[in-house]
Structure 1
Amino acid sequence: MDPQSSQPRSVAVVGTGMAGLVTAHLLHQDPQKRYRVTLLEKRDQISLSAESIAIHSQDEKNSPLWADVPMRAFAGGFYRNLIQMYDYLGVRYHAQSFLFSFTKLPRKVQEISSSPLKPSPIPGPRMVYASNFHQIPPIPRTMDLVQWLLEAAYALLFYCWFTICCFFVAPFPEDPQNGTPSESLDHYLRRVWLPQSYVTDYLLPLVSSVCTCSHEEMLRFPASDVLEYKRRTHHQQHYVVSSGVQSVQGKLLKGIDVRLGVDLTHVLPQPDGVHVNYSGLKGQTVSEHFDMVVLAVSPDIAAKLFAPLQAQLTAIPTTSVETVAHTDTTSVEPMLRATGSFFSNKLPLSNATNFNTQRIHLLSTDSTTESVHEQSNSILVTTNPLFPVNKAKVIRSARFTRVLRDSRSRLIVNSIFRDRSQSNVPSTCDSSYAASSSWRSGDDGVYLAGGWCWDGMVLLEGCIVSAMRVAADLDVRTPWDNETR
């Protein structure tokens, strides 16, 4: 910014997920008041907590509980910047333990009937895992003691082996000179001789539910993503925000100009700034000028809005994820009975001050996993459902775009966010990528932010890091970060 200018520079932040809200908050809170921030959202509500559900509690204050959809649990170690931001904002969060049940489904899922008129042929879980071994996991009621001991010994043995490999067997990095990409998770797991049955029955159901994608998509992730996540979350406590992410949303939005229902069509760089085009109320095209624009959206949306990024961002894989909040227990009844769930016993949930262990049931085929998270007051949140949910029992259903990772997309993202002193294009890239890879975040007055805008798992921590990076590029210090970035 010109130090002689007294006018703040106008910034449009597109998208109201975590990355967009944090970016807008940091620029709006600039101590020197150099930026005038406008937050633009296509939907008619802020997207961070748009699908979350308020649940009436039974405590004396009658304050609502919140079931975040999708779940926003976070762990110490990996989510360092997220936790520091929550502490700075005064967001209350509490430790949350989980029990994960693992159920392997028959191969032909389409033959499984979840009709309430017929007994469900879905088997009960073969194993229950307590997060960070906080308790001795219950023996599933569908297994006898000898079966359970043998299965537990098998699962524990290879869990320990995988953990050792994470810390002591590094994945192969990319080699631009030889045209070798970074090692995929699939190749790494084969290289360390992890049994296929353990991978498909235990490891992939857990990590693919974290990333909400299929097993095949998960295996294409860079091995470094998964290993780094495992190392940094090992023996770390899990947490959830006590009042749901809607409480975070309110703190980040304070004082910011928000416009909802703005359907952008183009972001056009100009010599004097950036024009954004969107549809007006009467269907006409409206053009508005900003000094800068931050696209805090998924790469497929950014590619449609900003032409210089189409060649790069269309190569980044995405998938559509369905999440359903409901009260239909039909397909998970064997898991509920086998693990002693409060659902199966129809016990009332304790009040908001008593945070009990929550159960997450993972129902897997060889190719994908459905996760069912037991929420408050007999609400289930199912992600990637394999079985039909009774429509009469659906509370809310939503679809999300999940950004995936592979070796090529890792190269693209790292190129977009590389230091400006680095100008060489990796030789592993094809010609179409090489032709457009000179664009970096910040060029043309356009910046990118989001969970996918860093070299790691596409999770909330990436949202915070990318927002902090935009702020640093604009000479705004992050108040909760003491390190120079």
Structure 2
Amino acid sequence: MDPKPSVAIIGSGPAALFAAWALRSSGHEVTVFEQHDHLTLARQASASEGTPRVDIPMRTFSGAYYANLFRVLNHLGIATRVHRFHYRFLQGMAEYFQFFSNFHRIIPCLSNSFWINLYVLACYVWYTMAVFVVPPRIKNGSSGSEETETLDQYAKRIRLPDRFLDWYLLPLFASVATCSHGDLRQCPAAYIADYRRRTFAAHHRTVSDMHVLQTLLTRNVTIVLQAKVERVQPGIEGVEIHFTTGDGDKHQIRIFDRAIIATSAKQAGELFPTIRSITSRLSEGRVRISVTESSHRANAGRSETLVLMTQVEDTSSPVTHAIHHHPSGLDVVVSPGFHDAEKGPAGAELIYLNRPLPTSESHDLLYEVFGTASKGRKLGWKNGDYGIYLAGGYASASLPLLEACVRSALEAAVAIGADLPFEIVKHTSF
């Protein structure tokens, strides 16, 4: 029997570790390179020493949209728990609406004006019906459309009022996709409609212990921490991984049969210059997450409060900050569009993340890279060429969420030779 290919994986986020699990479970020799001194799937933060630690970001998932994630979790025997949210909508500091996820509580919503409740309910029902019976147009999808429709175009086509879009629907999706309202309006409508259809009436869930999941995913996987990968390069004998460790003084090269780059798209382009002409055309945003001690105390077993505070500035599109009053007594604030140099609240622990920003152009481009057709050749590279694969939130025709990481990771692993204990669920063309 021929030996199975050795695989290097760059990064240690969800895409990296789910790929590592799939390959190692099939007998491949897998090495994960991570530039930090810890793996980043189970990242946690706290406001100060002695306060509880919370998952950053909180990875929620629900319904059939996360089919592949649920298959892995069920196979591993990982427990999940339900989160019920109390959504409070604010414009600046003034609250204008509230409701509870899946309407699990109704009476508090009566504090809204009768006419606002009626207006939002009517728009919500119309939007929900539309995503089922008037699907958005998408290129290379089952509809056979020649264009990929943005959410802005789709909302106009189905005559969804701008007021509902700006102050009710977009704040909700901004809390999921962590980007500005303007970025959401340019997102392929099919991505958002698919999320709405497949999470309809499903509860939000989280993994009970992310560290347990991280441990199971990395069992028997070689981990190289504080390894700054500088270049991934095809060579005569395989894929060369050029990296430094520790203080960066010692440069090393290791050769593997295959490699998976599970970083952001822009980072992947820096590591593997062959694809830079592709990754340079993909948009990314920056997200700031701050953790502080909270004056808001949630009652055990009650709904968790998620404040959606929308701010409008003259120079940019509206931005919604998602403020999660965590049951542990911490406030976790997720704010899109911030840069590392901008200061956060006093005493807060700050974490900055890159966030893919899908557009109709990125959909068409990535289809040529990840789709089953051979069109990617005109770009000079298609996923898997030279034994190098990409995986991450951007590598799927969907919102850049945990499911996109899992699916792209499993598909890269299977392409290399992994045998999964289940079939990959494919709701989209890539």
Post-superposition offset of 1:481: 3.5
- CA distance in 2 between partners of 1:181 and 1:358 (Å): 40
Match of 1:104 in 2: 91
Say which of 68, 74, 77 aligns to 2:64. 77
Q: Structure 1 residue aligned with 2:77, among 83, 86, 90?
A: 90
**Residue 409 of structure 1: which of 362, 366, 373 is its match?**
362
For this pair of structures, how many residues does the alignment match? Answer: 415
- Change beyond 3 A, Cα 1:223–1:300: same
Matches within 5 A, 1:257-406: 257-280=222-245, 281=247, 283-327=249-293, 343=296, 346=297, 349-350=299-300, 355-366=301-312, 367-384=318-335, 390-392=345-347, 394=348, 396-406=349-359
SS in 2 for 1:410: helix
Supply the AA of the counterpart residue of 2:370: F
Other-structure match for 1:128: 98
In the superposition, relative to structure 1, how do residues 150 and 10 fare at CA in structure 2: closer, same or farther (>3 Å)?
same
Distance 1:319 1:256, change over 3 A: same
Shift of 1:43: 1.1
Q: Is the 8 A contact 1:126 1:151 kept in 2?
A: no
Look up the match of 1:256: 221
- Quote how far apart the aligned CAs of 1:308 are: 1.2
1:126 match: secondary structure: strand
For each residue in 1:126-184, what CA deviation from the matched residue of structure 2 results, as whole angstroms up to 9, or x when unmatched?
A: 111211111115148xxxx5x621111111111111111111112123389x9953000
8 A Cα contact 1:52 1:70, kept in partner: no
Q: Distance between the aligned counterparts of 1:175 and 1:465, measured in 2?
A: 19
In the superposition, the TM-score normalised over structure 2's length comes to 0.90
Name the counterpart of 1:50. Answer: 43
8 Å CA contact 1:67–1:376 kept in 2: the answer is no
Partner of 1:11: 7
Task: Work out the percentage of aligned pairs sharing the same amino acid.
Answer: 27
CA displacement, residues 186-219 of structure 1 (integer Å, 9 cap, x when unaligned): 1111111111111111111111110000011111
Q: Does the alignment pair 1:24 with 2:20?
A: yes
State the alpha-carbon separation in 1 of the partners of residues 212 and 353 from structure 2. Answer: 21
**Residue of structure 2 equivalent to 1:431:** none
The Cα shift of 1:289 comes to 1.1
Please identify, of 280-289 and 401-410, the stretch whose mean Cα deviation from structure 2 is larger.
Answer: 280-289
| Distance apart, 1:443 and its partner CA | 0.8
Distance 1:481 1:139, change over 3 A: same
Q: Alpha carbon RMSD of aligned pairs, Å?
A: 2.7
**Which blocks of at least 5 consecutive residues in structure 2 are unaligned?**
313-317
Task: Report the counterpart of residue 420 of structure 2 in structure 1.
Answer: 478
Call closer, same or farther: CA 1:179–1:378 in 2, change over 3 Å: closer
Quick check: 2:44–2:53 contact (8 Å CA) kept in 1?
Answer: no
Distance 2:78 2:20 in 1: 18
Q: Which runs of 5+ in 1 are unaligned?
A: 58-63, 106-121, 330-342, 426-433
- Matching residue of 1:41: 34
Tell whether 2:415 aligns with 1:465. Answer: no
Query: Are residues 1:148 and 2:113 paired?
Result: yes
Deviation at 1:438, TM superposition (A): 4.0
Partner AA of 1:181 in structure 2: E
Tell me the amino acid that sits aligned with residue 85 of structure 1. V
Q: 1:228 aligns with which of 181, 185, 194?
A: 194
Cα distance change, pair 68–55 in 1 and its aligned pair in 2 (3 A):
farther
CA offsets 1:217-247 (integer angstroms, 9 cap, x no match): 111110100000000111112211222x222
Q: Measured at CA, do residues 360 and 284 of structure 1 come closer, stay the same or move farther in structure 2, by a change above 3 Å? A: same
